[in-house]
Amino acid sequence: MANSTTYFLPSSPEWKLTKKPMKASTAMVEGAAIGIEISGNTTTGYVTLMPVENAAGGDFVGILAEPIAATDSDYATAGKLKAVYVPTSPRARAKFKVGAGTFTAADVFKTVEFHSDSASLAVDTAGKGARIVKYVSSTEGECEFVLPNTETA
């Protein structure tokens, strides 16, 4: 699966491309991790950037396959359908960029948080974002999203 992202990118065959309804008025980069939006204690039916929802107990849904910009004609529309890579297995792998922290081979199998940009991992921060499964370089690796859903760190 090829796209132009420099952030999260599916790296195994266990992903499908589908359309998901997005939260209104939220800019998102291609390759961002997205999750179910929670308002109060209720899901809205829309998806949005993952770090905010992860902190609220929201489930990881997938990786945004196209950007959403404030200049898009449907930017302020709740429920607009956008392309998303959705894992079909808990072992679906994705390449990731390091957003914060010092990344070494010793970090493999560590569970870490999504970085605040939703497009990378904070590799020095233990959390329920993703599990690192491969070291590629000091700035990138591979991860799986096999962690419990609706559970915060």
pTM, whole model, 2 decimals?
0.89
Q: Where are the domains of the chain?
A: 15-87, 93-144
The string of pLDDT tens digits covering residues 70-89 is: 999 999 999 999 999 999 99
Q: Which amino acid is at 118?
A: S
Question: What one-character-per-residue DSSP string does 86-141 give?
Answer: EESSTT-EEEEEEEES---GGGTT-EEEEPTTSSSEEEEEESSSEEEEEEEETTEE
**Counting Cβ atoms within 10 Å, is residue 129 exposed (0-12), middle (13-18) or buried (19+)?**
buried
107: left (phi over 0), alpha (psi -120 to 50) or beta: alpha
Residue identified by tokens 């605040």 is 116
Q: Are 12 and 37 in contact (CB under 8 A)?
A: no
The string of pLDDT tens digits covering residues 98-145 is: 999 999 999 999 999 899 899 999 999 887 789 999 999 999 999 998
Q: Could you give phi then psi for residue 51, rounded to 5 degrees?
A: -55, -40
